[in-house]
Amino acid sequence: MQTTTLGNTGTQVSKLALGCMLMGTATSEADSVEMLHRYVDGAGGSFLDTADCYAWWSRPESQGGESEELLGRWFAQTGRRDEIFLATKGTALPRDLPGLWSNPQEPDWAKARQQFAGASRAALTSALEASLRRLGTDYVDLYYVHVDDLATPLEETLETLAGFVTAGKVKHLGWSNVRTWRLESIRQLCDRYGWPAPVAVQQQHSYLRPRPGSESASIVGYDQLDYLQRHAQTLVAYSPILKGVYDVPEKRTTSHVMTEYAGPDTDARFAAVEKIAAEVGATPNQVVLAWLLRQDLVTLIGPRTLPQYDSAVPAVGPSLTDAQVAYLDAA
């Protein structure tokens, strides 16, 4: 397993991280445990990613936290907590979960986004303590603000996070679903008050590039890539294969993820990745993952099934020549 340095910390982390969002809900306990063993023992990985809200939307009676609880059971059974670089997140668990299920088949996402717990001192403190309890540990290696909270004073959030680090409950801090201007405000406040700054930023990032005019706060833009490099913040790229649109052409016209990507630039990139996939005898998804693993970032996969996991992990080792990478870059 390749590694990269986390921000400016000197800590080495796996370049391919395993997202545990669906573990304990859409992915059964047995398959989740098998996937963890394949990742840690088979692939040599050590970076596990979860959140306190995973996965409240799986069923009306869920309170969230199923993924953390499953990992906590796995740590207790295996004693492997100290072998793992463990990341979790707070702020995105809605406050009134029962009230989001007027339709028992699908929660009201618009309403949920209005009820996120947020990044106040009280909300963050409660969220972290609950996460540590579910995970069965007294610290996490990386703690993210999951969804940026513009309603809470940034100073309150940053001072609270600094307290977590001082108390030894969190080693490193991160942010997710955040705009570049907010990262700069965070950086300046941390410099001013001597608070620990984020060393990782988790955003949606793939081989496709967002269309001109995209206003998503969750997708990495060109300015943000440059900003993260200049300020030694590691990008953790989630949704790297965009729900499988590279392997399944039909999804390119039906999947909601394409809203922020559709256009001639995207068409050219689909053609390029399909050409390279044919050359190397891999799937387009695998080529995209291999291309990302050539970058100085962490690629986060979140398979639901063991076959999905097994199809992703070969991307750790396939050979893309420099010429092939240059071809993909230029498309």
The catalytic residue positions are 54
Give Cβ neighbours of residue 266 (< 8 Å, ≥ 6 apart): 208, 209, 211, 258
Say if CB 235 and CB 226 are below 8 A apart.
no
Tokens in use for 238? 């989630």
- Nearest alpha carbon to residue 18 among 42, 45, 44: 45
**At which residue do the structure tokens 């199809």 appear?**
311
- Report CA-CA distances (Å) from 90 to 10, 113, 132, 260, 288: 25, 14, 11, 26, 29
- Nearest alpha carbon to residue 47 among 78, 13, 79, 72: 13
- Nearest alpha carbon to residue 146 among 299, 273, 21: 21
- Nearest alpha carbon to residue 89 among 124, 59, 122, 114: 124
According to DSSP, the β-strands at 85-90 and 140-145 are parallel
Which residues, listed in sequence order, are joined to residue 86 by a DSSP beta bridge?
Answer: 48
